[in-house]
Amino acid sequence: MGDSEKLDRNNPDLKYLVVERNAFNDPMTQAEWTTKRLVWIPHETQGFVQASIKGERGDEVEVEIQETGKRTSVAKDDLQKMNPPKFDKVEDMAELTCLNEASVLNNIKDRYYSGLIYTYSGLFCVVVNPYRRLPIYTERVIELYKGKKRHEVPPHVFAITDGAYRSMLQDREDQSILCTGESGAGKTENTKKVIQYLAYVAASKPKSTSTSHTGELEQQLLQANPILEAFGNAKTVKNDNSSRFGKFIRINFDASGYIAGANIESYLLEKSRAIRQAKDERAFHIFYQLLAGATPEQRAEYILEDKNKYSFLSNGFLQVPGVDDVQEYHQTCKAMNIMGLNQDDLNALFRIVSAVMLFGNMQFKQDRNSDQAVLPDNTVAQKISRLLGLQVVDMTKAFLKPKIKVGRDYVTKAQTKEQVEFAVEAICKACYEKMFKWLVNRINKSLDRTKRQGASFIGILDMAGFEIFELNSFEQLCINYTNEKLQQLFNHTMFILEQEEYQREGIEWKFIDFGLDLQPTIDLIEKPMGIMALLDEECWFPKATDKTFVEKLVTSHSAHPKYVKADFRGVADFALVHYAGRVDYAASQWLMKNMDPLNENVVSLLQSSQDSFTALIWKDAEIVGMAQQAMTDTQFGARTRKGMFRTVSQLYKEQLAKLMSTLRNTSPNFVRCIIPNHEKKSGKIDAVLVLDQLRCNGVLEGIRICRQGFPNRIPFQEFRQRYELLTPNVIPKGFMDGKIACEKMINAIELDPNLYRIGQSKIFFRAGVLAHLEEERDFKITDLVVNFQAYCRGLLARKNFQKRVQQLNAIRIIQRNCTAYLKLRNWQWWRLYTKVKPLLQVTKQEEKLTQKEDELKQVKEKLDMQAKQVQELDKKFQTLVEEKSVLAEQLQAETELCAEAEEMRARLAARKQELEEVLHDLEARVEEEEERNIKINEEKKKLQTTIADLEEQLEEEESARQKIQLEKVQIEARLKKLEEDLALADEVSKEKKAMEEKVSDLSQALAEEEEKSKHLAELKEKHETSLSDLEERLSKEQESNKEFEALKATTAAEQELRTKREQELALLKKSLEEESGHHESQLMEMRHKHSQELAVLQEQMDNAKKIKEALEKAKATLAAENADMANEIKSIATSKAETDRKRKHLESQVIELEKTQRNFDKILAEEKAISERFASERDAAERDAREKETKVLSLSRDLEEYIVKIEELERSRRVLQNELDETRNT
């Protein structure tokens, strides 16, 4: 901050970047602040207001508000200390001695009212949206910040960017710049400014006067933002150009620092905005740009309708003040051309955009007789089908009567009007999202086309900040979860840098990892059985609902400190305690949002679309189908095993894990964006709104961390210069080391040791200590000034009194002389005296003349003496001047020697430090080697004992081996016998095969007989049918006979025919019964024979199998025993050889270690001798330096005394000369 004050304040580019600080250092302002005892008190609308303390009553304080003069009582705990005026509008809020919410808010507010939108707060930069264009982003401003350190220039996002860029080049460490904040706070604009700065500073080609270079990498990088803004930004209530997605822009640089390429990753696109918008809000900009800027030919090609007829544009064709959508459309097309997208790509993108808008115009109705939805007019469907390359019949059928899989079969499911509209909206959202992802990938392809190798990168994160609405949904949980992780990274990074400062200064500090403070909330969200895991689990159950999900949360986490149960009177389902405060969540539609289900019939149509672009963006679609909602248990198991899809929370967790891994491997830089008011008015601050954002952005969290440490630090010289008057006569005159002087001052002030730490070059204080010292200093200065004023007033009063006394005496004398004159003026003798008195002086003139001559002689003698003295003094002066020049030369030489000695001392100190480090390393290595030696000796002893044991075991194993050899011979004999038995078993198996062949022949014969029996059964059935026909005919004839009998008109021929037919029927019945009985008896005999033979053969086969199995088991056991024995013998031999080899190797290692130990002892002794020698040399040099310093001080003191004497002689010479001149004149 101090160096930024040295800038040329007349520079017009710095008008909105720096502020005049002389007014804040005014002693009168400081004294007024001290006397009024000003503090901050809470206020409903202004956040905090100034008040002065008037009195105290117990736990309450009576204060007077400065603005209104109203008096009120406030609890002591609600008061917040105010910083002295010298800290007003400070550029870095970490310098505030009173770090509290009120002071931070007041500093930001005062700077904002002065047009200063950027402020540092320790490690990060806070920026407040100005809601107007400021001339602080020009190329001239970039040149001001180029290559400067942060403290040399005023706060600016350019300073943060340049610091990241220089750190990347110098340290070869990847950097990241994190821009966070609410919608409308300026995240996107600051991201653009970061890219603008990097594109200017790190451009691979020299700047030219032309406005653009088509195809140049830096130009393409700048043009990526307009494209992403057109497709991913929208107008909201808070912001006319709000980013509805998060992005991480990774800019790669080569080893020379030039831009080598870039890559963009997108997060959480708000795809629901494509189908529905809140009041006074718009969908994505590209919808309105296309409708306003498309030519008549393009309108025909993209099948665009009237801009007010799209139902998905909830608020119609809403205009943004000051924005021309036609011009924006042409700029977007131009940017896409620069990015390398051809006209076919643009046509494909705009066809998808038009189809998304048209989807909302499909009007479905409910069938009167059923729940089935119908589409009376398919005109819009035909337009959509043409744009997406689909068949209109297939598409409408897929929406209205989709097929779902139930078990192994597909069934057609009737859809209600609500279900169809939900499916259309889901497809519409997914279509736009997939198009957006393709566009991002296409931009990345253009930006990565360079062949230069990227050595390191700077990543810019533009992510939505913490969101706390009255009711928050699934999207807010994801955003807040992200911000918890980012805040944890910030806390961790901030403390690490603080700790490095403490370590550099060598102060005592106990490690505290503030990142762990946020871990319970993060675990509650992301760990197994956490909120997201339970949500994923519920998505698998067919009967799960949002209510069952909330019940599971209550069961699992009701005792968690960061989980809050819902109030039965409230609308929220549960609440979480985030670092920014409590957030209430409503779990409505969470399962649907997490699964994001799509109609798989429509998806399959889109994947096989005739339009290549549509098929491309849907190629790798992972979907949750409608059948997911009606899964059975078996399907559940199958889907779990196959992993058909991943939920939104799983995908987001993976994305976030990759992002956090990338950020942890970088050095992060933080930019916190603040929205000042919701009216989008310039120069207005809503204090309550800003305070909420300061909490959500982690600014106050960072201040909390600062308060735990020592946020205020001041160099020794400045501390001594400013606060030495608090400790008079403590520091003796002459030179004293700054650290020692500060220690003496601190001891005299009697500060609590816990409130400060003394480092190597600075003294550190806890928050509020410097304010206390400032107050004490003000009181001391006030006392000194009052005493000085009293002394001066007393002196002036005494002088005035003496003057008045002298005037009184003079008046009395004048009065006395006047009265005497009035008495004598008419007396004759007085008149005579006045006339005679002049005549009396004539007789005394000769006496006076002689007297004057004597006086003249005396003056001449005195003048001669003084002339001689002057000559002598001149000689002395010349000699003193010569001595002075000699002494000055000696002083210069001694100064140079002192500087050389100081350099030598510094070199020796550095060498000593290096040697101490080497010595420390060597000692550590010696300790490690000693420990290794001890371990090796122990291992050697263990190995010796194990070797002895192994030798004993080897002897035992040798004897066992001999026994095993004998057993082996016996086993081999048994094996031969078993092999003979096995040969017999082979013969049995051959017999078995013959039996099996016989069985197969019999089974074939049986099959033939069964076929015959089937044939006979068929014949039987035929005969039975013919018999039934004959019986029917007989019954008919009997009926006719009855009729004939009734009519009595029968003839003899008919009687004979009837008798013949009855005989034929009886013969047929008899023959059929005989054949069937004969066939059944034959079949029974054959079955009986076959079953007997089969039983015999089965018994023989079982016996053979048993014998074979027994033989195989015996053979296997013998072979296994034989192999085990051989393996044991081999292992024993190899283990013996291995132990011998290890023993020899260990012995050689021990010998080598002993040698290295001796070498280390020798090196250690040499290094100790060298360090002792250097220490002695350093002590001698320091002693010489001190002696020379004292000699220089004494010489300078003598020189000062000589100069004083010379000045006194010169003064006396001048006095004598003046007296001589006066004497001559008289």
Residues with active-site annotation: 183-184, 188, 239, 242-243, 465, 467
Amino acid occupying residue 244: R
- Give the residue ranges of DSSP H helices in 257-403: 285-293, 296-301, 325-338, 343-359, 379-388, 392-400
**Distance between CA atoms of 1102 and 272, rounded to whole angstroms?**
73
Q: DSSP 3-state helix, strand, coil percentages of the chain (rounded to 5)?
A: 65, 10, 25
CA dist., res. 468 & res. 621, Å (int): 33
- Residue 1187, SS3? helix
Beta bridge partners of 464: 181
Q: What is the three-class DSSP state of 424? A: helix
The whole-angstrom separation of Cα 420 and Cα 211 is 51
C-alpha span between 587 and 549 (Å, rounded): 8
Three state DSSP letters for 1144-1170: HHHHHHHHHHHHHHHHHHHHHHHHHHH
Q: Which residue in the block uniquely carries the two structure tokens 């209550």?
A: 554
- Four-point Cα dihedral 30, 33, 34, 37, nearest 10: -170
Q: What angle do CA 313, 316, 321 make, to 5 degrees?
A: 110
Cα-to-chain-centroid distance, residue 821: 105
Are 24 and 146 in contact by the 8 Å Cβ rule? The answer is: no
Q: Among residues 353, 354, 378, which one has the least CA distance to residue 364?
A: 378
Would you say 433 and 271 are in contact if contact means Cβ atoms under 8 Å apart?
Answer: yes
Residue 1118 identity: L
Vertex 832: Cα angle to 826 and 837 (nearest 5): 125
Strand order in the sheet with 667-674: 118-121, 124-128, 667-674, 175-181, 456-464, 246-253, 259-267
Tokens for 12? 């017009």
**On the CB side of 114, how many CA atoms lie within 13 Å of its CA?**
21
Strand partners, 284: 234
When computed from its CA atoms, the radius of gyration of the chain, rounded to whole angstroms, is 54
The tokens of 255 are what? 């080893």
Q: How far apart are CA 212 and CA 185, in angstroms?
A: 29
- Residue-level length of the chain: 1226
| DSSP state letter for 92 | B
- Number of other CB atoms surrounding residue 286 within 10 Å: 25
Burial of 546 (0-12, 13-18, 19+ CB in 10 A): middle
DSSP 898-923: HHHHHHHHHHHHHHHHHHHHHHHHHH
Sign, Cα dihedral of 273, 279, 285, 287:
positive
Pick from 229, 267, 270, 247: which is nearest to 177 by CA? 247
Residue 867: name the closest of 489, 1217, 400, 397 by CA: 1217
